[in-house]
Structure 1
Amino acid sequence: MSDSLPTSAPADQGVDSRGIAAFLDAVEEAPGIEPHSLVVLRHGHRVAAGWWSPYRSDRPHMLYSLSKSFTSTALGLALDEGLLRLDDRVVDFFPEYRELAAAGTGAIRVRHLASMSSGHTRDTWQEVFEADPADPVRGFLRLPPDREPGTVFAYNQPATYTLGVILQRLTGTTLTGYLRPRLFDPLGIGTATWQQHGSGHDLGFIGLFTTTEAIATLGELYLRGGIWQGHRILSEDWVAEATRPQVRTDDAHPDWSEGYGFQFWMSRHGYRGDGAFGQFCLVLPEQDAAVAYTGATVEMQAVLDAAWRHLLPAFGRRGTAADDAALAERLGRLALPPLPAGSPRSGSWSLTPATPGATPLTAVAVRDEQIVLCEHDTELRLSLAPGRWSIADEPVPVAVSGGWTDRTHLTVDALFLEAPHRLSVTADVTAGTFDARWVEAPLVPPSLRLLRA
């Protein structure tokens, strides 16, 4: 864990530990929510931090669309350096595509990319990528906006991707390379890697892997108006613009209907960066607090509801030393329960899919107390240890639990430790077949090797 933030007892910062404990109860007990990590900051101090084993503090975590808030920060830095302006036309950064750009595209400005208001009324990534897989920017510029840019919100991945490519053209490096000396190093963020398109560009809209501590420090930077430990990193004007509503949003979920800034969502309380399956950076100016959370769920509103119900009242309500001690002890033993398993069996079996083409795995082998999960040329060799998680770091960090449920059937779960994904595998060794399914399927192309930094 980085030492860039001081640690304090919750009570010393006016935080009631019982509220944090109640939040832990809520996310642990809710069906369909799998928590991975939590860091809570108040008054610039880390008052709570915990990881549900086998997840741990030093491992990076796939952020999905929380990556966008880091892309936004790169934009803010580039604006501060005078490399571009929010009202610059997007097509002017791609003169080679100006002649083929669709009608209406010339009205799209940098601010429209950053605020998801390019004029398109849907997420166009699939059609853009299918139309021009070699260069999604070219495909995006060929797609005419449905409305006047700036008038309608649509969560449109090519907008952020194009913004990222503009920044990489202007800076002559990747987003990661640009942010390293300007953001990551000053904030003490060590691990930060970004998945790339085949063209060599960091994806921008997804693909960033970093630690929960890094998420928390980003929240703290914005909470302080762009100042980090006395040093200005971002301009105060950029922080204010990025974190206020730039465009109206309409959504059935209350925390997605408060408006959108520059790659930040407005919330019922404060504002946030967020990513699929529950990756959150919550910034709460009224409470002088920031919360970083990672997990695995499609019930993202339920996680926010739990935060508003339990964490908000805890800020400004002083707890006791006894409550702080109880919380610290609990945070130190957070764990995801392993699958139960019966008695070990000796033997060797090679298994094929029960339904070919319906599983992310191509083959499974069981050899005594080892299971091998195969995806084409990728093999995950994992030991089965009844009653606990068994961990392997290569070729993909993964933990497995489970085992024999009777003499012929085997059930295991594989947790991908740098991603919010769990793979459940059941096998019938008598039939020589297996089934494998994602609890929540990855949004990235289905390759196990993409589930690591």
Structure 2
Amino acid sequence: MHGFPLSRRALPALGLGVMAAPARAELARAELARAGFAPDLAEKLAAGLRSGLLRGVHAVLVARHGRVVLAHYGQGADESWGQPLGEVAFGPAVPHDLRSVTKSVVGLLYGIALGRGAVPPPGAPLLAQFPEYADLAADPSRQRLRVANALDMTMGLRWDESRPYTDPANSEIAMENAADRYRFALDRPVEHPPGERWTYSGGAVALLGALIARGTGQPLPDFAREALFAPLGIEPGGWAAGRDGVPSAASGLRLTAPDLLRIGQVVLQGGMWEGQRVVPAAWLEAMNRPGIPTGDGLRYSHLWYQGGGFVPAFGGPRPWLGANGNGGQRLYLMPAAGLAMACFCGLYNQPEQGATPLRIWREIVLANLLRA
């Protein structure tokens, strides 16, 4: 085990911009080599940034087997839930919007709450958990809805988040503007039987956030702090709420890059953190089973993406888990390699916003892992 441990509250910045001194640069190269990476990994990231192929990068952290081996923090214009923040110099203590990476964090929170018996299991009828909407529960076309359909985004209800999040016709924005967000999410027109097709839906996650809050008796951010953040030593940077005061389970969380990396590490460690059980093992096992196809070569399960990437060190592809957010926010995990990568970008609502973090993951991190 080499590099620097994730358990330290303030992670040392190993990456670009802080390694100018030859001795420190040589130390970083030696750490990378010991971790099984090409020793010029940092230089390759720097070249990608200089070339313009990697756009809008605010932060990149890479860890292997719980040790940080690469860190880069940049500078650029940023925003929080659409509100400009101006030019920001990023660093290990600077929080950043996670946007829809929040969904995957909520997936872990649901598993923790389920382990405590506070929320219904995936097989439970969904509308039965919202007795205030008896008229919707009486609709035969909705009676097959299960909690699992919200967890896997297979509710079969019309939902369109393909529009920019600046467009009020975007379904998540329309939900935020609705008088009752939960009725809005549940009374969309039925397009497919539940479980048949994957449709990206912030509404599904809003429903899960409500179940967590109702079942635990705590607002979602408070439960997250007690059940997940405090055990990992995380101090959240905020959780945006809608006009109705309800924290957004779909996109509202702000964390630092090191804190997001810790969340990835607890997943890689089977739900354990410094000898303490944080996330139930059974939940993570279910999360890793093949999920519903998303239509673009990925699968989806329990609010996490599932993909695969070629790794030279393994001589073939290996599966990875991903949490994706608008603007290029990413958390990538490859259990077989003990790898975690957190990435923040400022490419909100831009076409091809996912290209930059995916190129860093595939062409720099995985392509330069030389030892299994």
Please tell me the TM-score bracket, short chain as reference: 0.7 to 0.9
Per the alignment, residue 35 of structure 1 pairs with 57
Per the alignment, residue 273 of structure 1 pairs with 323
- Retained in 2: the 8 A contact 1:277–1:295? yes
**What is the CA–CA distance in structure 1 between the aligned matches of 2:363 and 2:301, rounded to whole Å?**
24
Alignment match of 2:181 (pick from 104, 129, 136): 136
Per the alignment, residue 3 of structure 2 pairs with none
Per the alignment, residue 14 of structure 1 pairs with 36
**What is the CA–CA distance in structure 2 between the aligned matches of 1:162 and 1:32, rounded to whole Å?**
36
1:156 Cα deviation (Å)? 1.3
1:225-278 deviations in Å (ceiling 9; x for gaps): 111122211112211222333211113xxxxx2211111111223111010111
Note the residue ranges of structure 2 that are not aligned, 5 or more in a row: 1-5, 13-27, 76-88, 162-168, 310-319
Matched, 1:61 2:96: yes
1:172 Cα deviation (Å)? 1.5
1:317 Cα deviation (Å)? 4.3
- Retained in 2: the 8 A contact 1:140–1:158? yes
- Retained in 1: the 8 A contact 2:103–2:249? yes
Gap change, CA 1:87 and 1:295, over 3 Å in 2 = same
Per the alignment, residue 109 of structure 2 pairs with 74
Matched, 1:26 2:26: no
Matched, 1:202 2:238: no
1:32 Cα deviation (Å)? 7.1
- Retained in 2: the 8 A contact 1:65–1:275? yes
**What is the CA–CA distance in structure 2 between the aligned matches of 1:301 and 1:243, rounded to whole Å?**
24
Higher helix share: 2
* Corresponding residue SS for 2:357: helix
Per the alignment, residue 3 of structure 1 pairs with 8
- Retained in 2: the 8 A contact 1:16–1:317? no
**What is the CA–CA distance in structure 1 between the aligned matches of 2:42 and 2:194, rounded to whole Å?**
42
Gap change, CA 1:130 and 1:234, over 3 Å in 2 = closer
**What is the CA–CA distance in structure 2 between the aligned matches of 1:29 and 1:191, rounded to whole Å?**
34
Alignment match of 1:264 (pick from 277, 290, 304): 304
Per the alignment, residue 224 of structure 1 pairs with 269
**What is the CA–CA distance in structure 2 between the aligned matches of 1:123 and 1:258, rounded to whole Å?**
19
- Retained in 2: the 8 A contact 1:23–1:307? no
TM-score by length of 2: 0.78
- Retained in 2: the 8 A contact 1:168–1:175? yes
In the alignment, residue 96 of structure 2 is paired with which amino acid?
H
Matched, 1:112 2:114: no
Length, aligned pairs only: 313
Identity of aligned residues (%): 26
* Corresponding residue SS for 2:40: helix
Match runs of 1:334-413 below 5 Å: none
* Corresponding residue SS for 1:225: coil
**What is the CA–CA distance in structure 1 between the aligned matches of 2:298 and 2:294, rounded to whole Å?**
6
Gap change, CA 1:128 and 1:14, over 3 Å in 2 = closer
Match runs of 1:139-218 below 5 Å: 139-218=184-263
Alignment match of 2:127 (pick from 84, 91, 96): 91
**What is the CA–CA distance in structure 1 between the aligned matches of 2:149 and 2:188, rounded to whole Å?**
15
1:201-236 deviations in Å (ceiling 9; x for gaps): 221110111110111011111111111122211112
Per the alignment, residue 80 of structure 2 pairs with none
- Retained in 1: the 8 A contact 2:32–2:41? no
* Corresponding residue SS for 1:46: strand
Gap change, CA 1:277 and 1:200, over 3 Å in 2 = same
* Corresponding residue SS for 1:191: coil
Moved over 6 A (4+): 5-8
Higher-RCO chain (CA-CA 8 Å, sequence separation at least 6): 2
Gap change, CA 1:85 and 1:192, over 3 Å in 2 = farther
1:343-383 deviations in Å (ceiling 9; x for gaps): xxxxxxxxxxxxxxxxxxxxxxxxxxxxxxxxxxxxxxxxx
1:306 Cα deviation (Å)? 3.4
In the alignment, residue 203 of structure 1 is paired with which amino acid?
S
1:189 Cα deviation (Å)? 0.6
- Retained in 2: the 8 A contact 1:79–1:85? yes
**What is the CA–CA distance in structure 2 between the aligned matches of 1:234 and 1:128, rounded to whole Å?**
28
1:40-84 deviations in Å (ceiling 9; x for gaps): 111111112221132222111011101111110110101111222
- Retained in 2: the 8 A contact 1:40–1:49? yes
Gap change, CA 1:27 and 1:303, over 3 Å in 2 = farther
Q: CA RMSD in A?
A: 2.4
- Retained in 1: the 8 A contact 2:36–2:371? yes
**What is the CA–CA distance in structure 2 between the aligned matches of 1:128 and 1:10, rounded to whole Å?**
42
